[in-house]
Structure 1
Amino acid sequence: MVAVLEIGAFITSLLAARVADTYGRRWTMRVGALLFSVGGCVQTLTTGYGVMVVGRFVSGCGVGMLSMIVPIYQAEISPADHRGFLGALEFTGNIVGYASSVWIDYACSYIQSNWSWRVPLSIQVWGGLILAVGSFVCPESPRYLIDTDRDAEGLQVISDFQGRTEDDPKVLDEYNEIRDGVLADRAVGDRSYKALWTRYRGRVLIAMSSQLFAQLNGINVISYYAQAGWIGRDAILMTGINAIFYIAASIPPWWLTDAVGRRPILLTGSIAMAIALTATGWFIYIDQSYTPNAVVVWVIIYNAAFGMSWGPIPWLYPPEIMPLPFRAKGVSLSTATNWLANYWVGVTTPLFQQLIGWRLYIMHAFFCVVSFILVYFLYPETRGVPLEEMDKLFGDESSPYDDDDDQSDMDASESSSLVGSRRGSRRGSGTSPAPFSRTPARAENSLVGRVTDAMFRTGSGRDAGRGRYKAIDPEEQ
């Protein structure tokens, strides 16, 4: 009954990509919210187990669409220098909803009838309806509008977001940058999943791995199973107290994400979570009278570390790094990975608890270490980089005149920043972010090649905080 929601979410997170590309971000959000509300009604009015399973599945279908489209919409309407702030703010809203559900559960546990569980289930209906109505007020993504040749509407949305007239230079600068990116992306032609995997395999694997390790790093194990002696209403109370700390921990990334970048936050979070999981496993292993209290302390520390790092960033990162023609499909794959991993963790954790006991937490601490290694060697820094400039960051700009010989690859590598210069010339000097050097595009598609390159690169590239991509001074170039 619990896991069927993840199954519904997995299915629609994949199917929603075509809906988002065909009908738009706002329409997809609206359908997802309505599905979620319908599923909530079925659950609230359920007459038995079978009906409850159906309701959970329908709600899961709504969750899958929303969890795929909302991060895309958030990324596409956010300015580059505040994209991290707005993405982290969105995640805090998510955690406020989670914490509210726990405290509503706790309050309703005192009701002496089946309304003790019908009331909490009914709350989600109103949340979905508010979002569905709000989708009529929210504007469509300007990038989607321009990509579908609704340029006038896209320009109007940009003007509204900036609070300036449509002929204001800053409004026109952003419009021209998005329009240039759309025209360049149209050279791709084929927008299928096969083309996505062929051209942007590295980005797809990075996006999927970020969501995979958000689950393998142990959040659901901690949230659902680390009770260590707390049962019944006391367990709900401890979860509610933990949720308050969870909310507080999600606030610092509002500023840290844009101030220090995505990579340092993920790296620090991996270390802190590995320590907290190891300590949790240790206290469960020694099984003393103080074990329940000690576990609560380390669970709070773990949730704080997760809420500041692997909670918000994996939802922000995939829509950032995916190019516009493939953004919905790429994010659908990463989101589907999240729900598949979520399902796997939920189903296997009780079995692992029986088989390996306290070692389960050590296992997830190991995954935290693996995630640290992946981020260190493979994840580039996206802080402050406009969505239309991600091609230069990854070094895989597409051109209809690409040649397969090595000399063409080298020429493309040496001149990749000219794309940024061409766009920057229209806006005027000083307004374009520094371009990024890269190795040939064919090396980008090999993760092994990237690891090898990262291990043997010079220190200056790492100090730049962008993986193996080093910022170049325009004057020096």
Structure 2
Amino acid sequence: MARTNSFGRGDAAVGGFCGYCATGRPYGRDRDPDFLIMAFASKNQVRGGRLVALITLIDGMSACWFGYCQGVFAGVLVSQDFLDLFPEINNGSISGAVTSSFFLGAFVGAVLAFILGDRLGRKKTIIAGHVLNTIGAALQASAYSLPHLVIGRTLNGIGIGVTSTMSPVYLGECVKPHLRGRLLVIGASSNVASFALANWINYALAFRGGALQWRLPLAIQLIFPFIIFPIAPFVPESPRWQLLVGRDDEAKRVISLLNNESVAADSVMTDYNSIKASISLERSHRVPLMDVLRNRDKTQNLRRLLLSCGTQFMQQFTGINSLGFYLPTLLHESVGFDLQTSKLLAAVNGTIYFIAAFFSLAVVDRLGRRKLMLYGSLAMTACHLISSLSLKTAQEDPAKMKTFGNVTVAFFVIYHAVFAPTWAGIPWVYAAEVNSLGWRSRGAAAATATNWVTGFAVVQFTKVGIDNLQWAFFLIFAILCLLFFPVVYCFYPETAGRKLEDMDEMFLRNPSWFVFGKKEMTQPTRPQAFVDAEMARISDSEVTIVEVTPDKTEK
């Protein structure tokens, strides 16, 4: 029986290809009314670079919303009208719980993305997440009770959990490998840009009293859906997801739109056959779920899932959200700056963070993911170590507080400048790349869930940790950052320069979990062995098509 596509037909005619209807009779341009619909859509739909730009814009705006949510609440927490309305926030445990409810919601959102990503598709899942974001943002801005605020913050978190999982996967599945790293990093950099914007908005409103000081920053989130929702109708579903669910003709059309070529073009058919062959290879090695969890499948999906989760775990335990949410509070209470100066320093820090993030555009594909993570872990170790020791001196000797307080601030800024081009974006890029097609949305969801649950833990204990450990609290992050270096060096293969379809080949050829000393697993450029393997897959796929077509014709 012929496959059924979304137009209710068998393998339909698209761009000049003829297929067979459910009765077995051939039909083409003169027999298929759906051809006119598809031809009209292709003619009027955005194509090529403009289409890639729109998909990148959706990912970038999703990341902006994510970053804004992370940055805006730090200023809200120290607004006097907010503290008067919610006096419970003065309790460190309650403050941590309210702040981290966003992370808990985002963890739930990542789990939802795990469930919905392969069922609804990438695009619809992203839209659903942004609907939840909109509701959550509106509830936070209008809150007059603590439960009202927490519900809004949690819903906002669920939406961000969904979109932060699926947006990088969607973009990664739609773009060419030589652009993938840079375009995904644009999303991560957009996150940082909106984080900086949130800090400047907080500072600008620090000179005003009343509810506007904190309600307006929360309400500004509602600008994002007015950018995202109008774009959504003009972008297609991921072609890799369409092939995964058997919508072959739609996948060909989307590949042709992304390549700005006709459906019959060689480049389109090469990409189509490569993805199709990779799916067939993946399915030929499919094993029951329990065998996957025992790491008994040849494509090593469990190992790849753990690698992507590991990057997100390490990212959170570099201490980024401890500073992101509590930097104004820390500068005010521990370093001794007044409230307005604390907000100004946080805004300046956010701007430097934003500028440094775009440096990764120049190096993410050239140096690769591994080197950026390795260099970043060592540099962040030094920053945390110096910050904690200078903070110790400032707190122990009031006469030296100003001098060593300035040193502390300087190394907090340097820390953000190091984190931005290294650990800020790489975990999101890595999770979108390393997993197999069948496990990509699941792997990205598991990685994002790891990010949020560890972020929840870090934010939850940060205020209590600073109150009790003071300067020694940041020594914990210094030790952890140092430990991340051998973990990455020993276990993390390079994903830069590879096609997404190369990932299965990489793990099939290298079953050992240790990657150091193996050039094929660590070089930032695509190994020739993977190019040869792709050509072999495509060749085998074309032979299969030739052998199957006569049987279909006889039917």
The two structures share one fold, judged by TM-score above 0.5:
yes
State the distance in 2 between where 1:194 and 1:68 align: 25
State the distance in 2 between where 1:375 and 1:119 align: 42
Residues 84-137 of structure 1, C-alpha deviations (whole Å, 9 max, x = no match)? 111111111111111111111222223332122111111112213422332222
User: Given that residues 88 and 312 in structure 1 are in contact (C-alpha distance below 8 angstroms), is that contact kept between their aligned partners in structure 2?
Assistant: yes
Query: Residue 214 of structure 1 is aligned with which of 315, 325, 328?
Result: 315
User: Given that residues 368 and 496 in structure 2 are in contact (C-alpha distance below 8 angstroms), is that contact kept between their aligned partners in structure 1?
Assistant: yes
CA deviation after TM superposition for structure 1 residue 63, in Å: 0.8
Please give the residue correspondences for 1:43-62 in structure 2 after superposition, counting only pairs within 5 Å.
43-62=140-159
User: Given that residues 193 and 329 in structure 1 are in contact (C-alpha distance below 8 angstroms), is that contact kept between their aligned partners in structure 2?
Assistant: no
Please give the residue correspondences for 1:211-290 in structure 2 after superposition, counting only pairs within 5 Å.
211-223=312-324, 224-225=326-327, 226-227=330-331, 228-287=335-394, 288=400, 289-290=402-403
**What letter matches 2:147 in structure 1?**
G
Structure 1 range deviating more: 101-110 or 239-248: 101-110
Aligned residue in 1 for 2:553? none
User: Given that residues 197 and 204 in structure 1 are in contact (C-alpha distance below 8 angstroms), is that contact kept between their aligned partners in structure 2?
Assistant: no
CA deviation after TM superposition for structure 1 residue 4, in Å: 0.9
Please give the residue correspondences for 1:176-191 in structure 2 after superposition, counting only pairs within 5 Å.
176-188=273-285
Aligned residue in 1 for 2:195? 98
Query: Residue 338 of structure 1 is aligned with which of 451, 457, 461?
Result: 451
User: Given that residues 273 and 365 in structure 1 are in contact (C-alpha distance below 8 angstroms), is that contact kept between their aligned partners in structure 2?
Assistant: yes
State the distance in 2 between where 1:360 and 1:117 align: 29
Closer/same/farther in 2, CA of residues 134 and 260 from structure 1, 3 Å limit: same
Query: Residue 41 of structure 1 is aligned with which of 125, 138, 151?
Result: 138
Consecutive unaligned residues in structure 1, runs of 5 or more: 396-436, 445-449
Residues 309-342 of structure 1, C-alpha deviations (whole Å, 9 max, x = no match)? 0000000101201001111111111111100110
Query: Residue 202 of structure 1 is aligned with which of 292, 296, 303?
Result: 303
State the distance in 2 between where 1:193 and 1:318 align: 22
Residues 393-438 of structure 1, C-alpha deviations (whole Å, 9 max, x = no match)? 122xxxxxxxxxxxxxxxxxxxxxxxxxxxxxxxxxxxxxxxxx42
User: Given that residues 31 and 132 in structure 1 are in contact (C-alpha distance below 8 angstroms), is that contact kept between their aligned partners in structure 2?
Assistant: no
Aligned residue in 1 for 2:78? none
Aligned residue in 2 for 1:403? none
Please give the residue correspondences for 1:19-98 in structure 2 after superposition, counting only pairs within 5 Å.
19-98=116-195
Closer/same/farther in 2, CA of residues 49 and 164 from structure 1, 3 Å limit: same
CA deviation after TM superposition for structure 1 residue 169, in Å: 1.0
Closer/same/farther in 2, CA of residues 186 and 40 from structure 1, 3 Å limit: same
CA deviation after TM superposition for structure 1 residue 221, in Å: 2.2
Aligned residue in 2 for 1:465? 522
Q: State the secondary structure of the residue aligned to 2:496.
A: coil
State the distance in 2 between where 1:57 and 1:80 align: 35
Closer/same/farther in 2, CA of residues 50 and 85 from structure 1, 3 Å limit: same
Q: Under a length normalisation based on structure 1, what TM-score does the superposition of the two structures give?
A: 0.83
State the distance in 2 between where 1:101 and 1:473 align: 44
User: Given that residues 178 and 497 in structure 2 are in contact (C-alpha distance below 8 angstroms), is that contact kept between their aligned partners in structure 1?
Assistant: yes
User: Given that residues 196 and 326 in structure 1 are in contact (C-alpha distance below 8 angstroms), is that contact kept between their aligned partners in structure 2?
Assistant: no
Aligned residue in 2 for 1:361? 474
**What letter matches 1:203 in structure 2?**
R
Structure with larger Rg: 2
Seq. identity, %: 28
State the distance in 1 between where 2:294 and 2:231 align: 34
**What letter matches 1:371 in structure 2?**
F
Q: State the secondary structure of the residue aligned to 1:21.
A: coil
State the distance in 2 between where 1:57 and 1:321 align: 30
User: Given that residues 38 and 125 in structure 1 are in contact (C-alpha distance below 8 angstroms), is that contact kept between their aligned partners in structure 2?
Assistant: no
Aligned residue in 1 for 2:536? none
Query: Residue 328 of structure 1 is aligned with which of 441, 444, 465?
Result: 441
CA deviation after TM superposition for structure 1 residue 168, in Å: 1.5
State the distance in 1 between where 2:523 and 2:121 align: 32
Residues 437-458 of structure 1, C-alpha deviations (whole Å, 9 max, x = no match)? 42xx4xx4xxxxx34x74xxxx
Aligned pairs, number: 418
State the distance in 2 between where 1:389 and 1:136 align: 31
Q: State the secondary structure of the residue aligned to 2:118.
A: helix
**Given the alignment of the two structures, is residue 167 of structure 1 paired with residue 274 of structure 2, yes or no?**
no
State the distance in 2 between where 1:234 and 1:17 align: 43
State the distance in 2 between where 1:105 and 1:156 align: 46
User: Given that residues 29 and 135 in structure 1 are in contact (C-alpha distance below 8 angstroms), is that contact kept between their aligned partners in structure 2?
Assistant: no
**What letter matches 1:364 in structure 2?**
F
Structure 1 range deviating more: 191-200 or 36-45: 191-200
State the distance in 2 between where 1:267 and 1:46 align: 43
Q: State the secondary structure of the residue aligned to 2:364.
A: helix
**What letter matches 2:482 in structure 1?**
V
**What letter matches 2:489 in structure 1?**
Y
Q: Under a length normalisation based on structure 2, what TM-score does the superposition of the two structures give?
A: 0.71
Aligned residue in 2 for 1:393? 506
Residues 245-286 of structure 1, C-alpha deviations (whole Å, 9 max, x = no match)? 111111121121111111111111111111111110111011
Q: State the secondary structure of the residue aligned to 1:22.
A: coil
State the distance in 2 between where 1:342 and 1:169 align: 46
Residues 25-69 of structure 1, C-alpha deviations (whole Å, 9 max, x = no match)? 000000101100111111112222221111111111101101111
